[in-house]
Amino acid sequence: MSPIEIGYLMIGAVIVLLLGGIPVALTLMAVGAAGLFAIRGVRGTVFLIESLPYTSVANLALIVIPLFLLMGHLAFSAGLSEKAYRSAKSWVGHIAGGLPIATVFACAGFSTVCGSSVATAATISKVTVPEMLRMGYPQRLAAGPVAIAGALGILIPPSGILIIYSIATNVSIADLFIGALIPGFLTALVYAVGLYFMVRRDPELVRRTRLPKASWKERASATLAAWEVVVLFIVVIGSIYSGLATATEAAGIGACLALVFALLRKDRQKGAIWNGLLETGSSSASIFMLMIGSAVFSVALGTTQLPALLASTVAGMNLSPVTLLLLLIVPYMVLGCFIDGISMIFITMPVVFPIIEQAGIHPVLFGIIVTKLIEIGAVTPPVGINAFVVQGSVPGLKLGEIYRGVVPFIFMELLLIVLMIFFPSIVTVVLR
């Protein structure tokens, strides 16, 4: 059997094992080890398996993962999600769809200090959804927007998914963070405009749910109360963009600042900081296991020369970068229905990224597009993790209503992805 045939068998084996419910990390390690054994024999396989688990994660720069995760948990402990929502509500609560729009902006604000879509959706939904239901919003308009807007946590920096993409492809974290700024805030704006017109079609709903217009004094007070969010964002992203700190250093500074804010909160929930530490450790361990599995699989697949063959084949088809990106939307959307974003990146990048490089597509642009597709996967069944998180955070919500609520936003996401494909300067214009 030729190495190329072994490569195809490896990809098929990964699909079969994942459909069988085997954890992604174990699947990648098992298939990678089997592929190495088939190509290099026992000695070569043993040598690589002995060293790869250590060398794939023994990099001080990877401390950025637990640090940014910790910053997000501590930001929640400091009550920054509630402050971001109150600030947004004071500015837009009086317009049609004011509360859902405030929810979107609160998710965007909290995303600047939290790199997780699940954490963003869970924390914001507890604050906003009960109030929207009391005001008379149907479940689809109360829960759907927070489920999809929570996914901004993986797009607006500091994004955990962009960090994983950087690790998998060696693309600069700083460039990815800077490139995500315009798409992230543009996404929040498009969501807000869409909500405004969706709610405005029902005058009775507008009348029932519109809040009194806040005074300038009330707006200033609510905005100043959320100063920690602004400070964290400026310190972390500003220090990276200005070159004063690396992404790792900025993550450390951000985690320390978030800890200070959490300790200064008088009504902090008992054990919140300790729980944040435990969740950070658990999440980090899962990510590092995926990295080890991905390293074994990538080395084995690279040994078969299949990625290079696929890259040269695609190059020989003379597809334009636009056509190639449009074609890649479909498989990523299908994968997003079944696999979480981190696993998707580690599974696909060994095959897809060489093709992207061969086609001359900007790696930062591709990273942002993949992240947008992962956002869609976070709310599409049967997995749709954000929908489950929102349902679990607020008793009485129906999962079907949440899925109904996110459908219009999926079309908005696809529109934004197509815009970025045809106008890549939306991402690249801010890159140095």
Render pLDDT for 238-262 as a digit per residue (tens, 0 to 9): 898 888 888 889 999 999 999 999 9
Please say whether the beta carbons of 291 and 163 come within 8 A: no
Q: In which band, very low, low, confident or very high, does the pLDDT at 381 lie, cut at 50, 70 and 90?
A: confident
> What would the mean pLDDT of 364-381 be, rounded to a whole number?
93
Q: What does the pLDDT read at residue 416? A: 96
> What would the mean pLDDT of 125-152 be, rounded to a whole number?
92
Q: Which residues are CB-contacts of 139 (< 8 A; sequence separation ≥ 6)?
A: 133, 397, 398, 401, 402, 405
Please say whether the beta carbons of 139 and 402 come within 8 A: yes
- What is the spatial distance between Cα 251 and Cα 249, in angstroms, rounded to a whole number? 5
Q: What does the pLDDT read at residue 49? A: 85
Q: What does the pLDDT read at residue 124? A: 92
pLDDT tens for residues 274-326? 888 898 888 888 888 988 988 899 889 888 888 888 877 877 788 899 999 99
User: Does the pLDDT value for residue 267 go beyond 80?
Assistant: no
Please say whether the beta carbons of 265 and 272 come within 8 A: no
Q: What does the pLDDT read at residue 366? A: 97
pLDDT tens for residues 396-414? 899 999 999 999 999 999 9
User: Does the pLDDT value for residue 200 go beyond 70?
Assistant: yes
Residues in the chain: 432
Q: What does the pLDDT read at residue 147? A: 93
Q: Is the peptide bond before 307 cis (omega within 30 degrees of 0)?
A: no
Buried b (16+ CB within 10 A) or exposed e, 111-147: bbbbbbbbbbbbbbbbbbbeebbebebebbbbbbbbb
Q: What does the pLDDT read at residue 432? A: 63
Q: Tell me the angle at which helices 173-200 and 139-149 cross, rounded to the nearest 10 degrees.
A: 170
Q: Is the peptide bond before 382 cis (omega within 30 degrees of 0)?
A: yes
Q: In which band, very low, low, confident or very high, does the pLDDT at 132 lie, cut at 50, 70 and 90?
A: very high
Q: In which band, very low, low, confident or very high, does the pLDDT at 85 lie, cut at 50, 70 and 90?
A: very high
Q: Is the peptide bond before 23 cis (omega within 30 degrees of 0)?
A: no
**Secondary structure of 98-152 as H, E, C letters:** HHHHHHHHHHHHHHCCCCCHHHHHHHHHHHHHHHHHHHCCCHHHHHHHHHHHHHH
What percentage of residues in the chain have a pLDDT greater than 90? 47
What percentage of residues in the chain have a pLDDT greater than 70? 100
User: Does the pLDDT value for residue 214 go beyond 70?
Assistant: yes
Q: What does the pLDDT read at residue 1? A: 79
- What is the spatial distance between Cα 378 and Cα 373, in angstroms, rounded to a whole number? 9
Q: In which band, very low, low, confident or very high, does the pLDDT at 18 lie, cut at 50, 70 and 90?
A: confident
> What would the mean pLDDT of 353-373 be, rounded to a whole number?
94
Residue 222 tokens, joined: 């609510």
What's the Cα-to-Cα distance from 235 to each of 15, 225, 276, 277, rounded to whole Å?
Answer: 42, 18, 21, 22
In angstroms and rounded to an integer, the radius of gyration of the C-alpha atoms of the chain is 22
Q: What does the pLDDT read at residue 269? A: 76
DSSP three-state, residue 93 = coil
Q: Identify which of 199, 129, 162, 181 has the alpha carbon closest to the alpha carbon of residue 375.
A: 162
Please say whether the beta carbons of 372 and 183 come within 8 A: yes
User: Does the pLDDT value for residue 418 go beyond 90?
Assistant: yes
pLDDT tens for residues 32-44? 999 999 988 888 8
Q: What does the pLDDT read at residue 59? A: 80
Place of tokens 């085997």: 22
Q: Identify which of 403, 381, 377 has the alpha carbon closest to the alpha carbon of residue 390.
A: 403
Residue 325 tokens, joined: 């990106």
pLDDT tens for residues 87-119? 999 999 999 999 999 999 999 999 988 888 888
User: Does the pLDDT value for residue 129 go beyond 90?
Assistant: yes
- What is the spatial distance between Cα 94 and Cα 79, in angstroms, rounded to a whole number? 24
Q: In which band, very low, low, confident or very high, does the pLDDT at 161 lie, cut at 50, 70 and 90?
A: very high
User: Does the pLDDT value for residue 186 go beyond 90?
Assistant: yes
The model's pTM: 0.88
DSSP three-state, residue 383 = coil
Q: What does the pLDDT read at residue 367? A: 96
- What is the spatial distance between Cα 278 and Cα 289, in angstroms, rounded to a whole number? 17
Q: What does the pLDDT read at residue 401? A: 94
Amino acid in position 276: G
User: Does the pLDDT value for residue 61 go beyond 80?
Assistant: no
Place of tokens 């405004």: 196
